[in-house]
Each structure stands twice: as structure tokens, then as C-alpha cells.
Amino acid sequence: MTTATDRLDRSVLKLAAVLVLGALAPLLDSTIVTVAIHTVGTDLHASVATVQWVSTAYLLALAMAVPITGWSANRFGAKRMWIVALGLFLAGSMLCGAAWDIGSLIAFRIIQGVGGGLMLPILQTLLLRAAGRERIGRLMAVVTLPAVLGPILGPVIGGVLVGHLDWRWIFYVNVPICIAAIALAVRVLKPDPPAIAARLDVLGLLLVSPALAAIIYGLSQVGDHGFGHSAVLVPLAVGVLLLTAFVLRRTAEPLIDLALFRTRSFTASTALMFLTGFGLYGAMLLLPLFYQQARGETVTTAGLLLVPQGIGSLLARTAGGLTDRLGPRPVVLAGIILTTLGTIPFAITDASYWLLGVALVVRGAGLSAVNLAVMVGAFRDLEPAQIPHASSTTRIMQQLGGAFGAATLAVVLQSQLTGHHASTAYAHSFGWAIGFTVLAAVPAFFLPRGRGF
């Protein structure tokens, strides 16, 4: 039973609402831009290979910005850095809308990416400091709402903007959201506590940020070239070497505090975040392609057919409160079971649309439960001073896991398409996704259960 002390008080909910408004901009942006990418390429006379950099440049800039968030929140204050991040995203959005050619658009997307990379870890830091570790689950149910709404609203908004206005409005739509979020942040967010005079780990930054960018870039090339191509292997090798050098070096004030991994629940949670990228989120790559290639639907129809997954995610918002009471372990395991059950119909070549729709509701509920509970597991046993570094680390693991998952399933799908009919190829690929999802249950057994460990 939820007690009065367990409930989030009004000030925390008000803070969450202000921050969620700001987070809505980058989370909507990613899905809106995906819908409009073909139109952008046509209008700016860019090839498919070139226009893909509109998305790739954003993701690389986002990855390179994430490691610095822990240090910047401690050094300059989380409130100040939240407003800076929103300002960068606002400026990038306005510049993208005014881009005169594909080169300028790609450059301005980098500014957007830096703002987006700073934003989500700082959001976590602000809210976790305000709510306390015993109410993390309920809090995550609130703050992850934009991540649920993005896939539901993004394709619809993107289709309307591109179909009835100019593609530039896919960026201008962020402007009023960011302005409102900045104004509310100035009014509502409490002043930052005294800054921690931490020295910036410059060498660490020069190692880990390019490492993440190189790894994610290499993985983004897998779909076109396969894992064995130099376009994939060279950036992956460079990224792994840089990341290894970062891990092995010793410094008093590291950019990312690796001592976090001494906490068992944090280590299990971050391992789970990485593995879920293979089965849970890597399969997100397959779903829209499945409806278009195996079922012959249009892009817009495919987006609408994926709405049930978002509905399932909304229905699973109560998983936050359950996690606070029962602990992350049972909720994550239940979520993995639901996600597996919701993916199985896609491994059946002739499944009906009704069955697939119900499966997506179940899958969305499972995804939402896992996402909420694993974040609780990551933060619940940490001290307040560790939260900024933990926010950066969890975001990095989510990105790397998603990139590896998407790359692996892209290779599986491509190999299947060369020798099978599209429906059979997707059935086999979803079978791999199911296997990866089940594998994610292993670290889940090391998560806390109940209020203790």
C-alpha cells in the first residue's frame, strides 16, 4: 500500500512537469526528423548517403556531450546547465530551420545534439536529488513519459508538418517548447547548491568522447557494409582502444567515476541497460521496417500501426510504484517476460494484424516496466554525490546498447533478406531479438528485491 511518505509531493511533481516539458523537445525531434528525412534530402538536393548525416551527426554530437554532464552539473550547477542545454537545443533548432544547404543543416544538427546530450542526464540528476531514493520508481514513471509519447506523437506530427507545411517546421516546432521550458526553469527550479570546484579531466574527455563517437559511428555503418568492412572495423577499433585507455588510467577526479561499479546493483543495472539494447530496443529498428517491407504498408501507416506499443507503455506507468514497493528484480523479470511474449507473434510469418496489435500493447508494457525498474536499480543504492556521474554513465550504456543492438539485428536482417522472402526474413530476425531479450534476464537476478538488497 502506498503511504503518504511514499507519494511524490507537489513541489517534486511541479519540478518534474517543468523538466518533462523540456525533455519533450529532443525526444519528439528524433522521431519527427526520421519521418521527414527523405523530403529534406529531395529539397536540398542531397543523396541518400549524405542526408543520413542529418541523423548521424546529431547522434555523434549527443554521444560526445554525455560524458561531460556529471562534471558540468557539479561545477556549474544542474539548474544552470539545464538552461544552457535547452538554450543550445533552441539555437540549434532555429539554425536548422534556417539552413541553406545540406552542409549547414548537418553542422547545425551538431549544436542540437550537444544540447540533447546534456539534457537527459541533467534531468535525471535534478529529479533524483529532489525526490529521494525511496521514491525513484514513481518519479521515473513521470519523467519517462516523453520517451513514451515521442514514438506515438512524433510520426504523426512529422507527417502533418511535412505534408501540409515546409520541412523546416520539423525544427521550428521545437522553438516554443524550448522557450516555455527555459522560462519555467528560471521560475520553478531551486537555486543550485554551492558548486563543487572539480577539475575538468581534460585527458579523460579527449579519450572517452571520441571513443563513444567512433564506436557509435562504426556501428551505424554495419547496416550498409556488415561487421567485417573497414568502414566498421576501423572506427570500432579506435573507439575500443580509446575507451580501454580511459578505463585503465588512474586520476583523482575522473570525468566518469568508475568507482560506481563497486555498487552491485548499479553494475547489474548498467549491464542490463546494455543487454536490453540488443533485444528490447534493437528490435525497435525492425518494427517499422517489418510493416513496410514484409506487409507492404506506407511509412505513415506503419507509424500508426506502432501506436499500440506506446499505449502499452502508458498502461505500464504503475510499474514505478510497484518497483518502489517490490524492488527492481521482480518488475524487470516480469517486464522481460511480457516483452518476450509481445515479440513472439512477429516471429510468426502469417500473424494477423489484430494479434500483432495486441502483441505490441503487451510488448510496450514490458518495455516500460523494464525501463522504469532498471533505472531504480541503478540509482537506489547510490549516494547523492554520485548521482551526476551515474546519470552520465547510465545514458552512455543505454546509447551503446541500443547502437550494438540495432547494428547486430541489421546484419541478421540483411543476411536473412538475401536468401528468404521478406516475411520469413523478419520472422527469423525477430527470433534473434527474442533470444537477446531472454539473455537480458541474467543480470536482472543481481538487482535488488524489496527495499533492502
pLDDT one digit per residue (tens) for the chain, 453 residues: 444 445 556 777 778 788 888 888 887 777 677 667 667 777 787 766 677 777 778 877 887 888 888 778 878 888 888 999 999 999 999 998 888 888 888 889 889 988 988 888 888 778 777 666 556 666 666 666 666 666 566 666 666 666 667 778 888 888 988 999 999 988 888 877 766 666 777 888 888 888 888 887 887 777 666 677 787 888 889 888 988 888 888 777 777 777 788 887 788 888 887 877 666 666 777 787 788 778 888 766 777 788 888 788 777 766 666 776 777 888 888 888 998 999 999 988 788 889 999 999 999 888 888 877 777 777 777 777 777 777 777 777 777 777 777 777 777 777 777 777 888 888 888 888 888 888 888 877 777 665 544
The answer to whether the CB of 110 falls within 8 A of the CB of 57 is yes
The grid cell for 27 is 525526444
Per-residue model confidence (pLDDT) at position 422: 80
CA distance 104 to 316: 41
Longest dimension (CA), the chain: 62
CA distance 243 to 233: 15
CA distance 171 to 169: 5
Q: Is 230 exposed, middle or buried (0-12, 13-18, 19+ CB in 10 A)?
A: exposed
Per-residue model confidence (pLDDT) at position 106: 86
Nearest to 107 by CA among 63, 29, 54: 54
Per-residue model confidence (pLDDT) at position 2: 45
Q: Which residue pairs from 448-451 have beta carbons closer than 8 angstroms and sit at least 24 positions apart in sequence?
A: 448/265, 448/327, 448/328, 448/329, 448/377, 448/380, 448/381, 449/326, 449/327, 449/328, 449/329, 449/330, 450/326, 450/327, 451/134, 451/325, 451/327
CA distance 430 to 6: 39
Per-residue model confidence (pLDDT) at position 3: 47
Unique residue bearing C-alpha cell 537477446 = 436
Per-residue model confidence (pLDDT) at position 355: 93
Nearest 5°: the CA angle 244, 250, 255 is 75
